[in-house]
Structure 1
Amino acid sequence: MQTGESKVEEHRMSTTVSRVRAAYARIDATGRPEIWIGLRPQEEVEAQARLIDERVSGGERLLLAGRLFAAKGNIDVEGLPTTAGCPSYAYDPQADAPVVARLRAAGAIVLGTTNLDQFATGLVGTRSPYGAVRGAHDPARISGGSSSGSAVAVALGIVDFALGTDTAGSGRVPAAFNGIVGLKPTRGLVPTAGVVPACASIDCVTVFARTLREAEQALSFMASPPARALPALPGRAPGPWRIAVPPTHQLGELDEGWAEAYEAAVRQLAAAGADIRPLDLTPFTEAAAMLYEGAFVAERYTAVGSFVDKAMAEADTALDPTVAGIITGARDIPAHRLFADQDRLAALRARAEAELADADALLLPTAPGHPTLAEVAADPLGANARLGRFTNSTNLFDLAAVAVPAGEVNGLPFGVMLLGPAFTDDRLARIAGLLQPEVRLAVVGAHLTGQPLNPQLLALGARFDRTIATAPVYRLHALPTSPPKPGLVHVGPGAGGAAIEAEVWRLPAEGLGRLLAGLPRPMALGRVELADGSHVPGFLCEPAALADAEDITSYGGWRGYLRGDRA
């Protein structure tokens, strides 16, 4: 029989390494090579995982230990080429971008760099010589861009979170199409050093995750102290959240069922106590059209125009023709047009700020619809322009944003976003949380704090609630699984049951559904009775699996068994 020390060692060494192995197995199983531009060798990543486990075991506090992430292919990752979606542009960075370095310093492990609309120019995810990135839920539909590979890697469960960038909506549109969360922070809150620019003055590094909490935690390590003076935000009167909502006709044409899904999100916020108030969307949509149709697109030529000119002269086949056309078309925009557009934008921004003055956030659909690959191929510019209707103005107006799932339409994800003034990021996240109701979950084994499967809970946005014992009506068994885990079986009063150590976690209801969908036999989800008489969902075990399992009830819990301490 294993000693307590050997059992603890087995669990410690399996924590991060097993997650890495599962991620690479998932990469193989999904069959989506177009997600990746650069993928680190599995052996190299496993070696890093072992070092992370050793550091944690040695007492280091690494709050992102065991988390796996990916970085958009225009963000520097040391050891992998930065391509920005163009092989002939590639260079070998000498160091990680600061955002990558900060996440690694907290214990997170980067698997690789992901595909994107070339030079981060597009909202479709198809403008890449590495292949069109297909939607996670329907491969006939686009994934959304430009941060396409990052979003799909998260949605398919390969990584816990991923980095994107957002100039016109690239950190939000892919989130909506793939049923995940996208945080677009206040401009300047996250450093853009080590990022190939699209429009340097308004670019933002963003984060995708399956839950709001996971995205917020990653963002907390990426952020810097504000490099500019904090604006004087309007004083907030006491009372419920004030949510601005435009009249439905101002949303324009939406895909079938999307208006109803948006209205359902409005009702959900109202039911949670929010004060819904009207807003004129006109300045937002007029400014959105200016991002590509006006002179501001000239900044894209400033970023990579000389490279694109040279590559076109050499008939470089790696250039996406749509991207090349947008960038070179910006070359000859006259300076006077830029000044005129700046004046017009200032007027529109003043109108938008006036509309938002008495609101905490503006709620909008993240996009007006979800096109197929064929529809984008037939009209690449028109389809892309439509997708930015609600997102293009955000950075021009210096707003913060968060995009979250808000149900489904015809079996595909539907998403909404909340917009607010610069540096209201935390406020927006709190409001977005009203769209993600929580449930409680009792765990007694491998999902306990510090155990191998606990990162699964954290990746789903779970937060620790309390430690408590079960009612004395259960027996606990050590199952011969990998990683080892216990089986909790209800035996009822007077049948030799005992109180078993447990933890209660709170997590989004959607997260519980995801956890249940991947729950392997012989585990099952049922009601667990706690010592205080309450009942919460929790992990139980099918009795048929106990034939060869050691009864460890006398240890009082899984941790006691691992230590070898009988209760």
Structure 2
Amino acid sequence: MNLFLFDDDTVPLPPVTTSQAVQRVLSVFDALARGLGPAPPVRLRCREDVLMDAKAVDERVRAGERMSLVGILVAAPEVPVVAERLAQAGAVVAGHTVPGAPSPGSEVRLETLSKLDALLVTEPPASCRGVVGFVPTRGLLPASGSGITTVLARDAAVAQRVAAAVTGPDPRTTSAGFSRHWPDSVRLSAGEHPRIAVPDRAFLAELGRVEAARLAATADTLSVAGATTHEVELHGAGGLCRKRAAVALGDHEALLLPLGTGLCSLTRLATRLDTAAVLLPTRDGGGVGLLAKPFDDQVVLDLAGLLTGSQASTPYPDVGVRLIAFGSYLRGQPRAADLERVGARFTGFATTSRHYRLLLIEHDPPEAGVVPANRPSEGGPLVGEEWLLSPAALGEFVARLPSPMRLGTVELADGTSAPAILCDPSVAERSVDLTAWECWRAYLRHLSAVRPVAARAGS
């Protein structure tokens, strides 16, 4: 059973058109007049001020400016740099969240958002009904007090986009105690088969029947989606629980946890360990959480995408180096794990110009290599995959490339160029040319088709 499929999913907001920001602001204040406004943790700004901000967004849209948060209504802590970054991204700050809200043990419901799209609060809630919570690594978002900021939204993609818009230290703050930058080795993907730590049976036995079943069902859903799950011992008082959770994260991409206020709940551990986390509502009215190592924010966002189907189009952070892969480095092929091991993210397919050759390299198992064509008549367009890696990850990956593979540059069909996994041109003299197939997978499909025919003919 998938606990994350909602029968009453909200209809996605349509693309923003002229004056839509103003219309949405008017609808919020109209709802307030009818008693349907945001919950007490939100203190709305003056109606006229919010309308002026909305009109400014509409003017920017009419002028052709592209912004990542156009049409998004947000309530955020009263931190100037946060408001400025949200406005720059096209969001309208309709109000301010009260410091310290939600309080420990509180529950956030979908109704809390009312007509708003996202809330930025200083503490993760103990429960969320219909609301996704994203807790970025401590120090990435400008924040006062504890330095922990949670983005609550209707889905994970909106939460990620809002967090991305405000990420970065406040340049006007003299104290850098809670300010951190992305490391050069940041992982940009959870990979095809992430390793997930799940609580052992002894821990589940301490939970209520419904909560234990919820965690078990979530683990099953992750397994079906391609993740591998491993039971870990968690139960224990206070610091022991935190130590066991930290050890589990050392060997896994994420740790599945219940929400709530217990010693080993995600809500408690996210405020006491250096981590990134997501809180996910389930269809039965409850919720579960996923905890990851610091700066593995995209890892938990990918897992949220596996469970809910909501995934932003760009990673968090939206940085990295393009790399074009061919042959055995394509997804599902033997060496694709080398890319996933360094946190590389598949971003789509790419086609080269007609200046390259695809060669069969007689290894065990056989693989393909790409070399520049000596003459235009020898080459052809080749289909590869585009991946995104952090700079340090690219260096680590290249350092482990086996012979005869090497890092090079290819010209793509769209006129751009990008780093690519090529092979030493010297192998061309002793390799079979596969350029006519244009793609390693096409050649493999050909082999899978002709081998059964050959086998039947031999019999």
TM-score range (shorter-chain normalised) is 0.5 to 0.7
**Counterpart among 33, 47, 50 of residue 42 in structure 1:** 47
**Counterpart among 164, 168, 192 of residue 121 in structure 2:** 164
**AA at the equivalent of 1:57:** R
Distance 1:184 1:102, change over 3 A: same
Q: Deviations over 1:236-260 (max 9, x none)?
A: 9986111100113314644452222
Higher helix share: 1
8 Å Cα contact 1:288-1:391 kept in structure 2: no
**AA at the equivalent of 2:165:** F
Q: Deviations over 1:495-543 (max 9, x none)?
A: xxxxxxxxxxxxxxxxxxxxxxxxxxxxxxxxxxxxxxxxxxxxxxxxx
Structure 1 segments unaligned to the other structure (5+ residues): 1-10, 77-95, 126-142, 290-347, 368-384, 440-464, 466-567
**Partner residue of 2:150?**
206
- Secondary structure at the residue paired with 2:256? strand
User: Could you tell me how far apart the structure 2 residues matched to 1:12 and 1:120 are?
Assistant: 33
User: Could you tell me how far apart the structure 1 residues matched to 2:295 and 2:181 are?
Assistant: 11
**Counterpart among 126, 132, 143 of residue 181 in structure 1:** 132
**Partner residue of 2:276?**
400
User: Could you tell me how far apart the structure 2 residues matched to 1:18 and 1:239 are?
Assistant: 42
8 Å Cα contact 1:34-1:115 kept in structure 2: no
The total of aligned residue pairs comes to 288
Q: Deviations over 1:192-220 (max 9, x none)?
A: 2xx3x2xx3xx311211101111111111
Distance 1:153 1:431, change over 3 A: same
Q: Deviations over 1:41-61 (max 9, x none)?
A: 323322221121112211222
**Partner residue of 2:87?**
104
* 1:251-400 matched pairs, under 5 angstroms: 251=204, 253-255=206-208, 257-282=210-235, 286-287=238-239, 349=243, 351-367=244-260, 385-386=261-262, 389-400=265-276
Q: Deviations over 1:423-464 (max 9, x none)?
A: 00001110111111379xxxxxxxxxxxxxxxxxxxxxxxxx
**Partner residue of 2:58?**
53
How much has 1:420 moved relative to structure 2?
Answer: 0.9
**Partner residue of 1:70?**
75
**AA at the equivalent of 1:421:** K
Distance 1:37 1:246, change over 3 A: closer
**Counterpart among 25, 30, 41 of residue 25 in structure 1:** 30
**Partner residue of 2:394?**
none
**AA at the equivalent of 1:161:** A
Q: Deviations over 1:74-125 (max 9, x none)?
A: x22xxxxxxxxxxxxxxxxxxx432222111211111112356xx4583134
Q: Deviations over 1:453-503 (max 9, x none)?
A: xxxxxxxxxxxx9xxxxxxxxxxxxxxxxxxxxxxxxxxxxxxxxxxxxxx
**Partner residue of 1:425?**
297
User: Could you tell me how far apart the structure 2 residues matched to 1:100 and 1:251 are?
Assistant: 42
* 1:85-164 matched pairs, under 5 angstroms: 96-115=79-98, 119=100, 122-125=103-106, 143=107, 152-154=111-113, 156=114, 158-164=115-121
**AA at the equivalent of 2:229:** I
Distance 1:287 1:30, change over 3 A: farther
Distance 1:229 1:160, change over 3 A: closer
8 Å Cα contact 2:97-2:119 kept in structure 1: no
- Secondary structure at the residue paired with 1:38? strand
Distance 1:32 1:287, change over 3 A: farther
User: Could you tell me how far apart the structure 1 residues matched to 2:270 and 2:39 are?
Assistant: 29
How much has 1:33 moved relative to structure 2?
Answer: 6.8
User: Could you tell me how far apart the structure 1 residues matched to 2:31 and 2:306 are?
Assistant: 32
Q: Deviations over 1:142-196 (max 9, x none)?
A: x35xxx9xx7532x3x101111112xxxx242xx43221101111111122xx3x
8 Å Cα contact 2:132-2:281 kept in structure 1: yes
TM-score (norm 1): 0.46
**Partner residue of 1:243?**
196
**AA at the equivalent of 1:178:** R
**AA at the equivalent of 2:290:** L
How much has 1:228 moved relative to structure 2?
Answer: 5.6
User: Could you tell me how far apart the structure 1 residues matched to 2:264 and 2:56 are?
Assistant: 43
How much has 1:68 moved relative to structure 2?
Answer: 0.5
**AA at the equivalent of 2:121:** G
8 Å Cα contact 2:136-2:277 kept in structure 1: yes
**AA at the equivalent of 1:122:** S
**AA at the equivalent of 2:246:** E
- Secondary structure at the residue paired with 1:396? coil
User: Could you tell me how far apart the structure 1 residues matched to 2:20 and 2:46 are?
Assistant: 19
Question: Which 10-residue stretch deviates more, 263-272 or 35-44?
Answer: 35-44
Structure 2 segments unaligned to the other structure (5+ residues): 1-15, 170-178, 312-347, 349-459
User: Could you tell me how far apart the structure 1 residues matched to 2:30 and 2:208 are?
Assistant: 36
User: Could you tell me how far apart the structure 2 residues matched to 1:222 and 1:109 are?
Assistant: 13
8 Å Cα contact 2:248-2:255 kept in structure 1: no
User: Could you tell me how far apart the structure 1 residues matched to 2:52 and 2:184 are?
Assistant: 46
Q: Deviations over 1:357-381 (max 9, x none)?
A: 22111011222xxxxxxxxxxxxxx
**Partner residue of 2:429?**
none
Q: What is the root-mean-square deviation of aligned Cα atoms in Å?
A: 3.4
8 Å Cα contact 1:246-1:278 kept in structure 2: yes
Distance 1:18 1:40, change over 3 A: same
